Amino acid sequence: MVQQPPAAIVGIGATEFSKFSGRSELRLALEACTAALADAGVAPRDVDGLVTFGMDNNDEQAVARNLGIDALTFFARTSAGGGGGPGTVTLASMAIATGKASTGICYRAMNERSQQRFGQPSGYGGGPVTSFAIDTSWTAPFGMATPASFMAQSARRYMHQYGATSEDFGRQAVIQRSYANKNPNAYFHDHPLTLDDHQASRTIADPLRLFDCCQESDGAVALVLTGADRAGHLRQPPVAVLGAAMGIGPQQHGMATVYRDDIATAEETRVTGDQLWEQSGLALVPRGPGASPDRGGLREGVCGKRQSGAKAGRQEFDKCLAYLREGDVLVAVKLDRFGRSTKHLIQVAEDLEARGVGLRCLDQPIDTTTPLKELVFTILAAIGEFERALIFERTADGLVSGWGLSQRQHG
């Protein structure tokens, strides 16, 4: 049984994002924290926990003193850079769950464009002999000195192993930019990105292009977390932390390791993901005839099975369509292969629209041997925000398999 989430996010704060903030990183941190507290309706004196990144330049004492926090009972840091964000939520949630803190702030502030650019190689050597220096001594001299160059070998291997293309990477960049277009505070709020833009951008570290890389910006962000018992009485609707995890995979070496048998797979994400599945209560349960429709969670099941012959495949296809309900999203792989004819395909689309079912199409076929967990990212990229979705693929032999996705409902 999944227990009541012990913590919830109740406030979010951020500065503007720019190429030159014109102020110190400490001031950026304080502005973001103050905005998050105001958003939550929480006073600084009620905060007793602070969490940030190991590489953040703002000491907890300075942040607490300048915010007006009376007493800190918990403060901690997590390693990593861009991947460290979930770690801060993990630590804050643990502190609240164990009673080490009642209300905490997760913060990160940096002048990452005007002060130190991670996208440009920094000097290696000449300093103390740390474990990091030893690790990078095997890679930095050969060009692996920036995040893009770290990930390039894995990206190239992924393309070779799974048949992905630069255009596939570009589609994800376009989706991410669309999120920025919806956020007035985003640096590229007024600058949409097309797949053609992505493909025309210069190569940074083959096969990664400019728009495969994130922005280098000055700015700060902060989250306020508190216990579930208090969260419902504050200014904003709380967002329950259903799961929070950190993870390091086998033979981990920086952002992308080259010491594994399969360098196309990020094992650390599997370590983290498995924890999140278990903690969150998003469960893998059967879907289809005889399945329980009310258990919630992320649900998997074969709605159709491999068939020999086109007629049997069409029958399984129609059977799957019958499971769809209003508000569902049908994600079709190679949509043109589903219809018995163009006329039939149009009829299917019209029927789905009349029933309130959304329709999306993936351009690339899905490897049916891939576990569901690894397909979720691809599916979400295709349909965006969703409640439930059904995805299946037909081959010449008929319907191969299907998956049902459901976003767990709360409250």
Residue-wise pLDDT for 169-227, tens only, equals 999 899 889 988 988 888 898 999 999 999 999 999 999 999 999 888 999 999 999 99
Residue 352 has pLDDT above 80, yes or no: no
H/E stretch holding 311 reads helix 310-323
CATH 3.40.50 location in the chain: 310-406
Rounded to the nearest 10°, the torsion over CA 63, 69, 71, 77 is -30
Sequence-distant (6+) residues with CB within 8 A of 377 are none
- Cβ-Cβ contacts under 8 Å for 62 (sequence gap 6 or more): 26
- The CA-to-CA distance between both ends of the chain, in Å, stands at 17
Contact 83, 108 (CB under 8 A): no
Q: Taking the CB of residue 2, how many other CB atoms lie within 10 A of it? A: 15
Say how far apart CA 208 and CA 157 lie, in whole Å: 12
Residue 51's alpha-carbon distances to 24, 233, 324, in angstroms, are 19, 23, 44
Which helix or strand (DSSP H or E) is residue 209 part of?
A: strand 208-209
Q: What pLDDT does 91 receive? A: 95
Q: How many CB atoms are located within 10 Å of the residue 299 CB? A: 23
Closest CA to 384 of 168, 178, 116, 141: 178
Res 14: pLDDT? 94
Q: In the chain, which residues fall in CATH 3.40.47.10?
A: 7-115+217-246
Distance CA 387, CA 184 (A): 25
Going by CATH, does the domain composed of 310-406 fall within 3.40.50? yes
pLDDT of res. 143: 80
What is the tens place of the pLDDT at every residue in 13-57?
999 999 999 999 999 999 999 999 999 999 999 999 999 998 889
Pick the closest to residue 378 from 56, 162, 133, 117 (CA basis). Answer: 162
Confidence (pLDDT) at 119: 63
pTM exceeds 0.85 = no
Amino acid at 301: G
Could you tell me if 31 and 16 are in contact, meaning their C-beta atoms sit under 8 angstroms apart?
no
User: Looking at the predicted structure, is the pLDDT value of residue 85 above 70?
Assistant: yes
Strand partners, 159: none
- Summarize pLDDT for 137-180 with one digit per residue, the tens: 888 888 887 888 888 989 999 899 888 899 999 998 998 899 88
Topology of domain 7-115+217-246, CATH: Peroxisomal Thiolase; Chain A, domain 1 (3.40.47)
Helix or strand run (H / E) with residue 157 = helix 147-162
Report which of residues 293 and 186 the model is more confident about: 186
How many whole angstroms from its chain centre is CA 369?
Answer: 23
Is 401 a residue whose pLDDT tops 50? no
Query: For residue range 365-392, what is the model confidence (pLDDT) as tens digits?
Result: 444 444 443 444 444 444 443 333 444 4
Residue 303 has pLDDT above 80, yes or no: no
CA–CA dist 313, 317 (Å, integer): 6
Neighbours of 256 (CB within 10 A): 22
Split at pLDDT 50, 70, 90, the class of 254 is confident
Q: Is 215 left (phi over 0), alpha (psi -120 to 50) or beta?
A: beta
Strand partners, 107: 222
